[in-house]
Amino acid sequence: MSDKPEKFIDENGLRLDGRRIDEIRPMKMEIGVLSRADGSCYLEWGKNKILAAVYGPRELHPRRLQKADSVLIRYRYNMAAFSVEDRIRPGPSRRSTEISKVSREAFEPVVLTHLYPGAVIDVFAEVLQADAGTRTAAINAASMALADAGIPMKGLVSACAVGKVDGQLVLDLNKAEDNFGDADIPMAITSEGEISLIQMDGDVTQEEFKKAIEMCKEGCRQILEIQKETLKNKFTKLDEVEIPEDEEEDVSALVESTLTSADEGEACEDEEVVEEADAEDDSEDVDDVEDVEDDEEAEDEDDVPEEKADEVVEADPSFEDVEEEEDENPEDDEEETV
Ligand code: UDP
């Protein structure tokens, strides 16, 4: 690791990489880069390189992990062994488990989880090259991968960090500022301006903390613009695709049916319809008894013997929360008992 620089900000107010204190690193991203994932995004931010992939929503197995009223989001942040200066040990660590947990929570306010009860959405964020700010870069990429997968969301999530060097707050820390600075405050902000992740390492005063939030909001606004632009470009490109004359009719029928199903989806937001749906759900409770009986078969379907399922759950840190949540939620236990 390089040594601590004497000064982080020069007399012209420029940082070691030539940025102003409130300037983010150059960012570019592309969506739909993986053909086998439902949604994906490759993002470069300064020297950070991140690949995010989304699978789902799909039915969650084993069934006992299912949430009756919402989709389960699983988020796995992983740093490739070759992504940093000193090779890191592959596999989950305390750091990656913590980052996965807080990043998953950063998406909870935006994903319309109630639309897919019993299902799971898997988000994978792979850090291919790290240069400070990887958790925020991964959230930006994951947000785009979720949008690319067509997951219904209230809006995108953008993330950035603010830190403190030479007694001044700086936006989007570089490696030296991250390693040797006085504070590091990563944040994720929804497009509605709600903070969905905030962490802090180091010391800042109350005033500085408030200013850091404002700086970060401005940084996230800029990132949101890049995200929106990327989405727009993809759809503009789709518009430009020429359709052979003999296929035009098929395409209009497809567009028609997509729009109709989208309208039906919107109708679900209507309270009355939701209430009706709830009533239906209640009537399905009777089926729950059968479901529990079916569980044995379901476990078979999962290709994992019941006694091994626990091992699988323990082996994957993203499952740990689920276990805890189940403990906190006695209703789930009741279902199991039935
Ligand atoms: N880093 C590293 N080895 C590690 C963890 C982190 O070299 O095991 C580097 C990496 O460049 C990372 C930076 O230190 O981006 C800052 O790490 P931090 O834990 O603050 O998370 P981040 O800022 O990447 O979200």
Residue 132 CA: nearest ligand 1 atom is: 15
Structure tokens at 283: 């009537």
Confidence of residue 3 (pLDDT cuts 50, 70, 90): confident
For range 155-181, the mean pLDDT: 97
Residue 6 CA, ligand 1 centroid: distance in Å: 21
Percent of the residues in the chain that have a pLDDT greater than 70, as a whole number: 70
Could you count the other beta carbons within 10 Å of the beta carbon of residue 194? 13
pLDDT attached to residue 323: 43
pLDDT attached to residue 247: 63
Give the whole-angstrom CA distance, residue 263 versus residue 306: 41
Confidence of residue 235 (pLDDT cuts 50, 70, 90): confident
- 298 has pLDDT over 90: no
Domain ranges of the chain: 27-235, 245-332
Q: Angle at which helices 134-148 and 94-107 pack, to 10 degrees?
A: 50
Q: Which residue has the higher pLDDT, 297 or 137?
A: 137
Task: Give 240-276 pLDDT, tens digit per residue.
Answer: 766 666 666 665 565 565 455 444 544 434 444 444 4
Residue nearest to atom 23 of ligand 1 (CA): 133
Owner of token pair 């040990």: 89
Q: Which helix (H) or strand (E) holds 97?
A: helix 94-107
- 35 has pLDDT over 80: yes
- Please, what is the average pLDDT of the chain? 82
- Report the chain's C-alpha Rg in angstroms: 23
Structure tokens at 72: 């389960």
Give the whole-angstrom CA distance, residue 305 versus residue 205: 54
- Nearest to 34, CA basis, from 53, 55, 57, 56: 53
Task: Give 138-167 pLDDT, tens digit per residue.
Answer: 999 999 999 999 999 999 999 999 999 999
- Probe ligand 1: pick from 126, 134, 160, max atoms within 8 Å of CB? 134
Residue 84 CA, ligand 1 centroid: distance in Å: 8
For range 180-206, the mean pLDDT: 97
Confidence of residue 278 (pLDDT cuts 50, 70, 90): very low
Task: Output the CA–CA distances (angstroms, integers) from residue 152 to 63, 108, 143, 145, 269, in the order listed.
Answer: 23, 12, 11, 12, 12
For range 98-112, the mean pLDDT: 98
CB 168 within 8 A of CB 9: yes
Q: Does residue 317 line the site of ligand 1, with CB under 6 A?
A: no
pLDDT attached to residue 236: 80
pLDDT attached to residue 237: 72
Query: Model's pTM, two decimal places?
Result: 0.76
- Probe ligand 1: pick from 24, 48, 84, max atoms within 8 Å of CB? 84
pLDDT attached to residue 101: 98
Confidence of residue 279 (pLDDT cuts 50, 70, 90): very low
Q: Does residue 127 line the site of ligand 1, with CB under 6 A?
A: no
Beta bridge partners of 171: 162
pLDDT attached to residue 311: 42
pLDDT attached to residue 245: 66
- Probe ligand 1: pick from 178, 198, 200, max atoms within 8 Å of CB? 178
- 330 has pLDDT over 80: no
Q: Does residue 102 line the site of ligand 1, with CB under 6 A?
A: no
Residue nearest to atom 9 of ligand 1 (CA): 132
CATH number for domain 27-235, candidates 3.90.1150.10, 3.30.230.70, 3.40.50.2300, 2.70.98.10: 3.30.230.70
